[in-house]
Structure 1
Amino acid sequence: MAGRCVMRLAVIGDPIDHSRSPRIHVAAYRVLGLDWAYGRERLAADEVVGFVDGLGPDWRGLSVTAPLKEAAAAWASERDALVTRTGAANTLRVDLRAAWNTDVAGIVDAFAASGVGGVHRGAIVGGGATALSALCALAQMGADRVDAWLRTPTKGDRLAALGAELGVDVRVLGPDAAPLVGDAVVSTLPAAAQVTPALEGPRAILDADYASGSSRYEGVAPLVPGLAMLLHQALRQVRIFVHGDPEAPVEREDEVWAAMVAAA
């Protein structure tokens, strides 16, 4: 009898050892009765194309974390609207050569789960691919003005350009600027960054750095856990890996969600 073919998935990035994606995804597929394997691969950005192109027919998809999201977007032949807009993909269907950005929905849903819906003014701490997704999320939540705090303000051109496209007034600030003002704040700083900008009056702060187990913003304002963002974007990844559609619920989704939360 021929050997059984197990569908394979993985999360790629660098660093990658801290990622909780494997256990979150494995929990989801167990509930769905899918015999899928989910691992992790440490890659540099210039290794992404060669790695993905070398995967066999047993590979279903990849979750993508920093600093590989731009390279993942460039690999794909088909891109959803948010990948096209941000130039960043966190989800690949290898068999379809297609890319999605579920980070935006993950941010919006994480704020909503903490009781924060519409906002007028937002703020972003840090740059890079996740900051671009954060800007799209804040725009979806209704922000028409966003302060962006960058350690190197000259790297804020992409945020300003995306803001113009979204109809959001983006003000790029440097480390010595006055306190950031925003109803909702998204921090994309990695754990290694030894800085904490001054903030003025936020209703909530989403700290995307979940790996450290604590936040530099504790006591500043109510915290939206970065783990909540990870879970919400991962649920849409599960839908993509199963159906190819981030908005198409999987069977027994309430049970799938409960298992993912418990595994995180």
Structure 2
Amino acid sequence: MLTTRCAVLGSPVAHSLSPLLHRAAYAYLGLEWEYDAREVREEDLPGFVASLDASWRGLSLTMPLKRAVVPLLDEMGDRAVQAQAANTVVLEGTGERRRLVGHNTDIPGAAAALRERHDGPVDRAVVLGGGATAASVLLALADLGCREAVLLVRDPARAADTLDAVGRHPSPPEVEVAALGSAVPAPDVLVSTVPASAQPGLTGLVAGAGVVFDVIYDPWPTPLAMAAADRFVPVVGGHDLLVHQAVLQVELMTGRPVPVDVLRNALGATP
């Protein structure tokens, strides 16, 4: 009997904590499944997907693969269609009926992570970065009732895909695009999807924010997270997003729910 296999794909991917989380979930569920990390570059993704045999059940995707996988999918869930990005692929069916179904658990995962640690307003947001993760967080904020957002990016011309994604939400916020480093009013929510190395010149944005949501978890704490702590501003971290989106991934791949605390305890994190 074939061992059921899943993996996280990306480049770089060695730092990923996804294997730790998914293996903890399998142990809780009593499943003898395998889950590992595979270094896959964007140009190698079609070949990797084509090589998957019947033992494969699911893939977790990190950047830069969340958008690159879309043309390879047979079907997409509603949130993946909205974002035009999938961080989760479930292989369904057998033989010639085998299908690749893409899902986006970043959107509901981000909403759950934010609401777990912050029950204040989310009307106005500032988002650093304009990639697939930024689109997912903006869609999550739209779910929570965000009305206005400023997207700060290095190259405003490259934010088109993110703006298109937000526009597919039934109640999208009004989004303004500006260059990274621009002066903006203090938001209810400051979101960062940029690397920690790009943050030192941006820590002044923390002043007056209601909450800081930094999707990075390695290294941690990031300059923005430290600046927020110094100002007693609540912080939602990358581990929070990771755990909440992974719980949803596990259920999509296995068909069985897992308590979020099982994954949180695997990280040694506390709510």
With structure 1 as the length reference, what TM-score do the two structures score? 0.90
Q: Which residue of 2 aligns with 1:28?
A: 25
The alpha-carbon distance between structure 1 residues 196 and 87, as it changes in their structure 2 partners (threshold 3 A), is: farther
2:188 is equivalent to residue 203 of structure 1: no
Q: Does 1:132 align with 2:139?
A: no
Residues 116, 204 of structure 1: 8 Å contact kept = no
AA partner of residue 186 (structure 1): V
| 1:21-62 deviations in Å (ceiling 9; x for gaps) | 001100000110100000011111121121011111001110
Residues 80, 100 of structure 1: 8 Å contact kept: yes
Could you tell which deviates more after superposition, 170-179 or 138-147? 170-179
Partner residue in 1 for 2:164: 161
Deviation for aligned residue 1:143 = 0.6
Matched, 1:116 2:128: no
Root-mean-square deviation over aligned CA pairs: 1.7
* Larger helix fraction of residues: 2
Deviations 1:194-236 (A, max 9, x none): 5542425211111111010211112333210110100000000
1:94 aligned counterpart, secondary structure: strand
1:173 maps to 178
1:44 aligns with one of 41, 44, 49: 41
Q: How many residues align?
A: 252
1:213 matched to which residue of 2? 220
Equivalent position of 2:236 in the other structure = 224
1:125-163 CA deviation, whole Å, 9 max, x = no partner? 111110110110111110111011111222222333334
**Structure 1 CA distance, aligned partners of 2:249 and 2:181?**
38
1:141 aligns with 2:144: yes
2:100 paired residue number? 97
Q: Tell whether the 8 Å contact from 1:52 to 1:94 is kept in structure 2 after alignment.
A: no
* Structure 1, unaligned runs of 5 or more: 244-248
Relative to 1, partners in 2 of residues 1:43 and 1:118: Cα closer, same or farther, differing over 3 Å? same
Determine which of 71, 74, 77 is the counterpart of 2:68: 71
Give the CA deviation at 1:94. Answer: 2.3
Whether the 8 Å contact between 1:14 and 1:44 is mirrored in structure 2 is yes
CA distance in 2, matches of 1:82, 1:185: 22
Decide whether aligned partners of structure 1 residues 69 and 163 sit closer, same or farther in structure 2, where only a CA change above 3 A counts: closer
Q: Name the % identity.
A: 33
Query: Are positions 1:260 and 2:252 aligned together?
Result: no
SS in 2 for 1:186: strand
1:226-241, aligned counterparts within 5 Å?
A: 226-241=238-253
Contact 1:147–1:181 (Cα < 8 Å) also in 2: no
Deviation at 1:116, TM superposition (A): 3.0
Given residue 215 of structure 2, which amino acid in structure 1 is its aligned partner? A
**How far off its partner does 1:73 sit?**
2.1
Find out whether 1:56 has 2:59 as its counterpart. Answer: no
- Taking structure 2 as the reference length, the TM-score comes to 0.87
Instruction: Name the residue aligned to 1:185.
Output: 190
